[in-house]
Amino acid sequence: MKYSLYILILIGFFSCNKVKPDYKQLIGDYQWVFSSLCMHSSVSDQQTEDKYGVKILKNGRLIYFHNDEKIINEKIKDIKVEGENIKITIIKKNVSYQFIFSDNKLYSGNYPFGNYENQFNKIK
C-alpha cells in the first residue's frame, strides 16, 4: 500500500511536468529586411534609410529598435511551439505583439509596419 502511494505520487509528478523545447536558438540580434502587404505593397531595407531591429536576450526580454533607439523593451510573456515554428508574445500597455520564429527569421504582423508581414533576419 505504501509503495502504491509513492508510485501514484511519482506518476502525478511526472505527468504535470511539461517538456520545454530549447529556446537558445531564439537569442540574438535580428535586422529588418522586408515588409509585404499581400501582393499590393512592399518595402525593403534597401528602400529606406530607417533601420529596424529586434534583440532577444538570455533573460527573456525582447527589444525593438528603430535607428539604434530602443522603442520597446519587454519581458516575453509566452512562447509556444506550433509545428516547426515558435510563436513569441510580448505585451505592452495592453497591446499584444507577436513574432513567429522560423528558419532563423522572425516574422511580425505589427512591427515595424502594422498589418504587414515584416521579416527580420538573424544577424548574430
Question: Model confidence over 45-80: pLDDT tens digits?
Answer: 777 888 999 999 988 899 999 998 999 899 988 888
User: What are the DSSP E strand ranges found in 1-124?
Assistant: 28-37, 41-44, 52-56, 61-66, 69-82, 85-92, 95-102, 105-108, 117-122
Question: Model confidence over 112-121: pLDDT tens digits?
Answer: 777 778 889 9
- Cα separation, 1 vs 74, in Å, equals 50
Judged by DSSP in three states, 91 sits in: strand
Q: Taking all residues of the chain, what is their mean pLDDT, rounded to a whole number?
A: 79
Q: What pLDDT sits at residue 31?
A: 93
